[in-house]
Structure 1
Amino acid sequence: MTTLVAARRLVGLPDDESGAGWLEVDGDRIVAAGRGTPTRTPDVALEDGVLAPGLIDAQINGAFSVDFADAGPDEVRDVAERMLSTGVTSMVPTFITATVEQLVEQVTRYDDARRVSNAAGSATRLLPAHVEGPFLSPRRRGAHRESLLVDPTPERIAPLIELGDAVSYVTLAPERDGALAAIAAFVSAGIRVAVGHSDATDDQVRRAADAGATLVTHLYNAQSPFHHRAPGVVGAALTDPRLTVGMIVDGHHVEPAAVRLAFTSAAGRVMLVTDAVAALGMPPGVYELGGDQLEVIAGSPPLRADGTIAGADEPLDANLGHAVGFGVDLVDAIRAATRTPADALGLADLGRIEPGVRADLVLLGDDLRARTTWLAGRQVWSTGGTMHEGPGATVASGQL
């Protein structure tokens, strides 16, 4: 038996519009969807808020006091369950610079935990890992330990390639010795490559794209900036249509004008990411990122002892609100947190509202914060904290 859901405001259909719409769910899949009013009485009627595909966070280091770098299976599962409260239905945990041996151990431990959690269901879908380092530029290292940064030689990248489908993508600096060959090797093995923590010229970035790189890690941050005679990583990212650009829109990492510039220059290629650390969802205090301590003070992003910004503590639904508040169109902002990351990661059955895709959905309030989350056709979280086994219930206010 199918469930028909109607929403006064729906975003995520192929028309890239925002307005009344409907969808029909059978099991864990959307089987039909359209604009306007359905021809029969809906089983679920959402009279306010914005119904959208479940959000996809393609870069997150940790949350709720947990750093993925040293998390056990119970901690990984706990984060996956609690992330539903932010509207995130799929996420890519990030592992920052360590020795290659340590990264292999961390990713292997996480991959075992993610498979168990995904099999159990009812929690944010855990995607293969993002390895951010150690093949980064010392000049643009950000919060990464300089002593651990190395060139991506065949011997160093081989253990990461052997991880296979445990890795979604690797971030590296294309100007490092051996980087172009490493990019080609990763891509040949089915692992995507992002340009990041890089002091590269725009020409070096374009050559990285020629070699197969398809992503840019946290646009503007920890990369050579734009200059009219030296466009750098930023210039290449904004103008090369082959690159999907991640961006942290938390009100601290990127100024509003630069956010608008990215959405205009790289239309359809911007991917909102949190780059969140263990402080997400937690009060101010001291937390860890890759073994280093960070301090979070109310109103400021996480900082290392030397004052360097180290990740963020805002969830993805809050990033949506900032983007729209900065002047980004609502549909463009939601696409940047749904369809764009899905496409960038090769996830054709996520991030959109179309027949055949997974019924991962979020109801956003007027402030664009998550109010209800559905995973694979089941309501798994709401502002009331209720967990439901069924596909939903008829409502008039948008609250489930």
Structure 2
Amino acid sequence: MSKVINNTSYFQDNDIKRNQDILIEGATISIINPSDNKETSQSLTVPGFIDLQIYGSGGRLFSADPTVESLTIMEDDLLKKGTTGFLACMATNSPEVFDECIKAAKEHRSSAKNCLGLHLEGPFLNPKRLGAHVPSFVRKATLDEIKKLIDFGDGVIKMMTIAPEIQDDEVIQYLIDHGVVVSLGHSNATFDEATAAYNKGIQTTTHLFNAMSPIHHREPGIPTAVFNHDKAMASIIADGQHVNFEVLKFAQKLLKERLFLITDAVNACSTGPYQHVEKGNKYVMPDGTLSGSSITMLQAIKNCVTHCGISLNDAIKMGTLYPAQLIGIENLTATIETGQQANLLVLDDELNLKEVIFKGETI
């Protein structure tokens, strides 16, 4: 089965290719040729978005209803919004809830579409930088606990946020050695402690500026450690609520390809330890503490372009190429070229979503 995206534009590296026909055979981009139609391209084709931290979608908060059905509902809703790859995230919680989430992810794995696995944000965090996380579940990890967790996860745990200053080096090294992307977050690490953590192999940073030691002219904190490092990456929430757009703007200028977008999106929930209440264009806990966002990946990209002056090409890479490179999962479409899996989005000239193509099929 084949289909063609006619007379479209797409980015190739730092250039834009206009008036192109993209032929899809089965699930793969097979041919890209100049179009016979010489009228100005009315669409832009980009890779599907990759969100490495999202808690809920389609009316479901995964940790509140840790079932295969919840993951399936999240998948279908996110596909319609252009997210063709995501990690279902769960916050600090009881061991029983963690087990239920992991069991559901393992059961769902054989039929998964765009769910790539789990991101565990906690419980091995610093109590001084919890944000909306529940203090009673936070603790220091033991190596034995981590070994059991990774063994029980059987490959579905792709990413974990930890506070490295309160964890033993052997715990961090075990996670890295077993293919888990380790992210520094909810941490009160000093500049030196954070730098040491990145040097030991921690690859990235969870929601830059939020729930971490801040920049101060006498205490440079975690953000400065990220900026000064040559490899450390960071995610950021581009909703204008978690981080001011001017701050996002200068962070992108410093980090460039080391900064990527997440939504950190939640759904309204009135049960369990995470009772998210929608307030305007954000979510808060019942006590008013800022919790997750309400944006989509497409809105995050639009915000980067409109409010931060980031080029469209760079903003798209922040939501596609850079997270794909970090997570390192095969067959993630992050560029448009022949031989790539056809996970593609067609946008109009105002960046509205016209079509979602997943594995060659229009959603």
TM-score (norm: length of structure 1)? 0.84
Q: Does 1:335 align with 2:333?
A: no
Aligned twin of 2:274: 292
How far does residue 254 in structure 1 lie from its aligned partner after superposition?
1.0
Q: Specify which of 40, 48, 52 is matched with residue 46 of structure 2.
A: 52
Say if 1:278 and 1:289, in contact at 8 Å, map to a contact too: no
Aligned twin of 2:211: 222
Say if 1:263 and 1:270, in contact at 8 Å, map to a contact too: yes
Aligned twin of 1:23: 22
Aligned twin of 2:102: 107
- CA change 1:303–1:50 in 2 (3 A) is same
Aligned amino acid, residue 273 of structure 2: G
Aligned twin of 1:398: none
- CA change 1:333–1:154 in 2 (3 A) is same
Q: How many residues align?
A: 358
Q: Specify which of 189, 194, 207 is matched with residue 178 of structure 2.
A: 189
Aligned amino acid, residue 313 of structure 1: S
How far does residue 331 in structure 1 lie from its aligned partner after superposition?
0.5
- CA change 1:158–1:100 in 2 (3 A) is farther
How far apart are the structure 2 equivalents of 1:53 and 1:7? Answer: 17
How far apart are the structure 1 equivalents of 2:216 and 2:118? Answer: 33
Q: Pairwise CA RMSD of aligned residues?
A: 2.2
- CA change 1:339–1:33 in 2 (3 A) is farther
Aligned amino acid, residue 327 of structure 2: L
Aligned amino acid, residue 72 of structure 1: T
How far does residue 259 in structure 1 lie from its aligned partner after superposition?
1.0
Say if 1:214 and 1:243, in contact at 8 Å, map to a contact too: yes
How far apart are the structure 2 equivalents of 1:46 and 1:346? Answer: 36
Aligned twin of 2:126: 137
Q: Which string of whole-angstrom CA distances, capped at 9 and with x for unpartnered residues, describes residues 235-284 of structure 1?
A: 122232322211110121111111111211001111110001124xxxxx
Question: Structure 1 stretches (4+) deviating beyond 6 angstroms?
Answer: none
How far apart are the structure 1 equivalents of 2:130 and 2:145? Answer: 19
In structure 1, runs of 5+ residues without a counterpart are 119-124, 280-286, 381-400
Q: 1:167-316 counterparts in 2 under 5 A?
A: 167-178=157-168, 180-279=169-268, 287-288=269-270, 291-297=273-279, 299-316=280-297
Q: Which string of whole-angstrom CA distances, capped at 9 and with x for unpartnered residues, describes residues 23-80 of structure 1?
A: 332211123446xx24x679xx994232100111111001122011123222321221
How far apart are the structure 2 equivalents of 1:250 and 1:112? Answer: 33
- CA change 1:143–1:53 in 2 (3 A) is same
Q: Does 1:63 align with 2:57?
A: yes
Aligned amino acid, residue 68 of structure 1: F
- CA change 1:46–1:186 in 2 (3 A) is farther
How far apart are the structure 2 equivalents of 1:220 and 1:154? Answer: 29
In structure 2, runs of 5+ residues without a counterpart are none
Aligned amino acid, residue 115 of structure 1: S
Say if 1:29 and 1:377, in contact at 8 Å, map to a contact too: yes
How far apart are the structure 2 equivalents of 1:129 and 1:227? Answer: 34
Aligned twin of 1:346: 328
Say if 2:10 and 2:336, in contact at 8 Å, map to a contact too: no
How far apart are the structure 1 equivalents of 2:185 and 2:271? Answer: 18
Aligned twin of 1:396: none
How far apart are the structure 2 equivalents of 1:115 and 1:59? Answer: 21
Say if 1:68 and 1:110, in contact at 8 Å, map to a contact too: no
- CA change 1:33–1:181 in 2 (3 A) is farther
Say if 1:52 and 1:361, in contact at 8 Å, map to a contact too: yes
TM-score (norm: length of structure 2)? 0.92
Aligned twin of 2:359: 376
- CA change 1:164–1:228 in 2 (3 A) is farther
- CA change 1:9–1:100 in 2 (3 A) is same
Aligned amino acid, residue 338 of structure 2: P
Q: Which string of whole-angstrom CA distances, capped at 9 and with x for unpartnered residues, describes residues 125-154 of structure 1?
A: 110100000011111101111111111211
How far apart are the structure 2 equivalents of 1:289 and 1:251? Answer: 27
Say if 2:266 and 2:276, in contact at 8 Å, map to a contact too: no
